[in-house]
Structure 1
Amino acid sequence: MDIFSCFLQVAYEEISYFPQRVCRYPLGMSGGQIQDEDISASSQWSETTAARYGRLDFEEGDGAWCPEMSVEPDNVKEFLQIDLRSLHFITLVGTQGRHAGGMGNEFAQMYKIKYSRDGSRWISWRNRQGKQVIEGNRNAYDIVLKDLEPPIIARFVRFMPVTDHSMNVCMRVELYGCEWLDGLVSYNAPVGEQMTLPTYPVYLNDSVYDGAIIYRCVMTEGLGQLTDGVCGLDDFALSHVYNVWPGYDYVGWNNESFPSEYVEIMFEFDRIRNFTTMKVHCNNMFSWHVKTFRQVVCYFRSESDWEATPLTFSPVMDEKNPSARFVTVNLANHMASAIKCQFYFADAWMLFSEITFQSGLIWLIQGRTSSYVHILSASLKSVSACFLEENPTHKVDDSNTRILIGCLVAIIFILVAIIVIILWRQVWQKMLEKASRRMLDDELTASLSTQSETFVYNHNQSNTTSEQESNSTYERIFPLGPDYQEPSRLLSKLPEFAQSSEESAATSTSASKSTTTTVVQDGVPHYAEADIVNLQGVTGSNTYAIPAVTMDLLSGKDVAVEEFPRKLLTFKEKLGEGQFGEVHLCEAEGMQEFMNKEFLFDISEDQPVLVAVKMLRSDANKNARNDFLKEIKIMSRLKDPNIIRLLAVCIYSDPLCMITEYMENGDLNQFLSRHEPEGQLALLSNAPTVSFNNLCYMATQIASGMKYLSSLNFVHRDLATRNCLVGKNYTIKIADFGMSRNLYSGDYYRIQGRAVLPIRWMSWESILLGKFTTASDVWAFGVTLWEILNFCKEQPYSQLTDEQVIENTGEFFRDQKRQIYLPQPVLCPDSLYKIMLSCWRRNTKERPSFQEIHRALLEIQP
């Protein structure tokens, strides 16, 4: 073996086992590489104990980060947050208290860690036994280092002090690891299964997966044991990790569970990459009917579409050596941001413990210079050993030493040249990414249901976007975070808005402060730390905005909804369509067999049931697909007689479908527009009528359904008659199909020809501040009630243009008694109109709750 070949072999091995061997250097808290602006906190005791002073082994300021209030038991809300600016593989953390030259003695005895890859979804770290709390410091002097088992892959990390009694704490921290060169941000796969051996069961589930698990069968939007840097032992019933169950190191599947004879795993990456190889660590204990895969078929997606021609690879099967091994798949330099691989069974079981990807020249993709130097140093040391090992019988004299030094110097020059090329490629690639991002921006629609944005037309942009980038009627509210807190300033072209009142100034001041407490504002919780989960609707339409606290509770429960055979669906009519899918009216045969007892159909079992089918396009992007699965989970939990129910799903193959109730009389808007109020005019025209009592009955049902949603902290954001369905005997159920229908395109205001907003139903704070709460839903209910009492014969504010409607919201903001209210309908008594006016109060705290509205409507009904 020549010296250069030896070097390549050593370098390749260093990178292949990168997480285990070289991923433990400090990431820059103590060394200063992490900038002050990338360190933030929930609060601070004083300016001299701000987040930037929370650096391990530093004594600036008052010596550490200290939160404003003492930490209480069972109330983990304070945190110190670090932004690493890119994904990192973090294997170790260090903490220290505040000493400050003998002036301080505060430290965190325990703490938790939360992390995020995108800044929106936060994940609580747990060790391999499921424990969250990490033991911290016992004094203010010593540095305590703790291995993270399993390690985490994240850009953002939060340290959250924990105590068993009320006490003051201060922290200094450091993170240890390396840049995540794989670029893998998530993988979707079937849940691992249980194997029963003659002596004991072996659990082959992905126990550290940090994404969502749907129906206990599909893992999505996370990373886990396939990327934790630990390769399983030859005997899969054993484990590298102590105190865990048999089979812990592996994720495994049985071929009887997969009629297609393959397991499909989809890998999502941070950007488009040039992939050279994929290494899959497989078990091969064929005596227990476990073998490596016999074939893998991989599809590649670079932009939005999957390549039509897949790559197929068949490894050599080994039935002599039962050792676990890496199987290397040549990916032939495919350019892709996502890879979908179908691994075909060679025997009854297939077990994987690690999957890694090499793109470009192995380690030559997106890494810090310090990473390269670290690898280079380790590799050169290994090369020296390798060279001497290849010449064991030669005495190392001066001539051989000179040759070795010369070879090493030559290699150094080659590597320096390669690093220069890498850095040049990074700059060039970032320029391309910016250009492609600008192209993507032009294609995005800022709708009410856009994930983790509020009236935002720039996808994944930072808050540094300039105010001059918009030329629409009013400025967009830039990303506020998912909690819908009020922005630091009002971004509106209406000149009087800029701090036109003491209230707006106070609003700006309060919003600029960083807080983690759960603020009850306008009677609706705002989750500053826990996020709001906003799901992109299948058709681009609104779905509910849900606090992540609620979503986390949902994720721990099983979804009691069954798979429905597609062949039993008969398509009758397309109800609507959008960017990611379609909504169809269908007849479902045999639906009664799939229903819980709580679903009562007043038709015989041999008759088809009318249902609405939301269908996700097979080429939908990752976010839309994941949101579709989350929406299924959410819909399965909504159990109220006035909310549309999820009946069944079709998710075992594309296109993914969810089947919901549909009411035979269609939506309330069309239903009422075909009817007339009781009276002489209806008698003369022979038109069908609806009595005032029935109008009140329908309105009461809508209020009841919204009362249920508000009790879960769900915000609908598009309540209108078009989103209410009518059944027999004037039964009402709230849905969310309206925006997908061309019939109602005129109800939505378009920004720059693309974004659509139901401004005539929206509260002033939703339009101007991007703030959606139950109070804004109450505003929309008042407009919906106005529609009902007008028999939907007229659009709200029909006498105003869209621009004038927006200007009118400015009058609500200024509160100078010049705002225009919807007029009192002819059939509307004063008592009902008072309810409407109360829904449109300028101060959100003064608007009634849905409980109060529901009670008032019950009292009005005869």
Structure 2
Amino acid sequence: MEVLQIRHGLLLFLLAAVRAQVNPGVCRYPLGMTGGQILDEDITASSQWSESTAARYGRLDFDDGDGDGAWCPDIVADADIGGPREFLQVDLRSLHFVTLVGTQGRHADGMGNEFAQRYRIKYSRDGSRWVAWQDRSGRKVIEGNRNAYDVVLKDLEPPIIARYIRFMPIADNSMIVCMRVELYGCEWLDGLVSYSAPAGQDMIYRGLDVHLNDSVYDGTVGLLMEQGLGQLTDGAWGRDDFLHSHVYGAWPGYDYVGWTNESFPRGHVEMTFEFDRVRNFTSMKVHCSNMFSRGVRMFRQATCHFRTSESDWESQAVSFHPPVDRVSQGARFVTVPLGDRMASAIRCRLAFNEAWMMISEVAFQSGEDPVHKVDESNTRILIGCLVAVIVILLAVIVIILWRQVWQKMLEKASRRILDDELSARLAIQTQAFSFHHSSQSSGDMSNSNSTYERIFPLCSSDYQEPSRLIRKLPEFAQSLEDLAGSSKSSTPPQACGSDGAPHYAEADIVSLQEGATGSKSYSSVTAVNMSLLSGKDRDMREFPRDKLTFKEKLGEGQFGEVHLCEAEGMQEFIKRNLPEAVNDCLNTAEGGSDTPVLVAVKTLREDANKDARNDFLKEIRIMSRLRDPNIVSLLAVCVECDLLCMITEYMENGDLNQFLSSHQLNDETQSSDKATVSYSNLISMCTQIASGMKYLSSLNLVHRDLATRNCLVGKNYTIKIADFGMSRNLYRGDYYRIQGRAVLPIRWMSWESILLGKFTMASDVWAFGVTLWEIMTLCKEQPYSQFSDEQVIENTGEFFRDQGKQVYLPRPACCPAVLYSSLMLGCWRRNAKQRPTFQEIFSQLGESQA
């Protein structure tokens, strides 16, 4: 933790020194209402109830003893009769990037009970033009406090760039309200006050409407956007694929502002940037899409003119030609050098290089204004101090890192001892502090060691020990300390790759009982060729690598990349390896054996080490033995060349999450052009998933990442379970990286998987319940969408404590009450032994379908 804090501080120091672009994830510091950095004269209000509730007392968590502990306006207008008119205004003295606000009511040591249940925010950069803040969905009202004591923090999405901020409380029935507030963010170093540009346009891509407008622009919008700021300055960069967004549920193209050259006869887009003062500009950074396969490419030339506040546009311009990239389609920042030009406004013309040009972010770097000279001796002293501070910080980091290396070496042996003992004894030790729980629940914990298994090799540097999560719950602390002191197991830890990468969703299944021996281990693989695939594996034939045509990159996984490909001559492999029941579900077109077939191809990185190759072949061994109509099948392999590949079937309608989100429930009372799906179709999908999981459970295979993103859809609503979800950037928001280590789909995981690191058939049943909830909501929202990742983990702790405070996913509108109560809630029972088996789930769904 000390190293992280020092690194964080050093990073912030260096960022401030070079005036880098703002990062919304880091820019969350209190701006001075609580700490007093914001002076009393900078806090004003439209009115006050009394002198003791003046504006200067509206500081969050601050009480100097003179006032009544908050700002209270004279009277607050009802929201239904004209909206809020009273306000508390904060002057930040300079432009700031505000990402978060906090509010609190007035309690006055028990003598008061006034608070604002709702409020609005207005902001201004110059004090004359005021803008009403609204979120990305257009909502202007912010939910505030529910009592006078608690602090309520609200993220501003989009963030605000302003000097003046006004809080405007809303009250019902003319009730008295009081507020204490705090602002969080950082200084806006760009100094950009507004940008003007042509309004973004719409694209039609393969029948899909792609809206490339600046949806959060706070100026006037017509044919031109003027006098405002928006998505180009919100600190969020667009993805490589402009059809996908970082914002959950946003429309295609949301992160970008784009234009087509058909609308600009002169072949360029002109943008004007206004700043707060004359600055010495060194460069401009423009984040561009370069997906030329879809007709989008970064600009061909940038020509910039400059203007100071006292003059017209200068005739001498700066011109820059970025290098042409015809290989990589990834989005990137293009740095345009501005040659240390002095200006308070910049006008740049960006020339088209393709049919479309798309931009998601623009940032400027500027040096100090040379008019303000600094004494050279003071400058040398300042530089010397900065260098000394950096050297000291680096020395401290080296010392701490060296200490950690030695600590890891000393702890390695004890960790090996602790590993096997932890799974066997944790539940037994739990009884010492959970005596108040029911005997049935305690019995479940005490007997769990016979079925639970670890999810990651212990030596993986990326693995987050479950005990670190458990220690967040106070009940666990003493138990684990006692356990660590008494563990003496001598069983060595499981081996792992030298790169320390954790195995997760890519078919790295925790156990496979083979034959009558019940063996759970895999033989060591030491070389890469077909001879390593023995027994049943030899039936998996080699496919000619040159008959694969790569069409689209689906994502990146632990081993390498996942691609959508066309395979020529694949029919004979299908007939040889798959039963007829499976053949009917494939996406093969009618025709001869030469008809190309769409397949998914996993490739191993060429620079992968021996352990990664062994793991890749281990996955082939497992996948080659799976034969079920509702499990994605392995069709062929390429292992005789350097680029190892495994070829699996790919369903023509893509993954279930994207498929359902583009549909709506078939309702005769509604009419829409959107594709529809019936309730019986949904039940059929759930039944097929249960059938596939029933097959896996019969082999004692644990999936560990069951979700709609990991189910593929074929003809006639055929469903097959896969494992591509984690490798796709589209679903990066579904996974949570614990302290920068283990990547986990916590919104689908059972409480014992998150807190204890235990994955079993019962934890797959829990995930099935969440998957069933996704299907019944047609994947229109993420599970626990109202919770942050940290709140999801806190809710997991409530499941462990079992005091009736845990929050369940609500019943979807189209889900019958009996299905929700008997099946969905049954999958989420705290006691893993009380959850239904997949055989029982399959039978129950079959009855409801009938």
Q: TM-score, normalised by structure 1?
A: 0.42
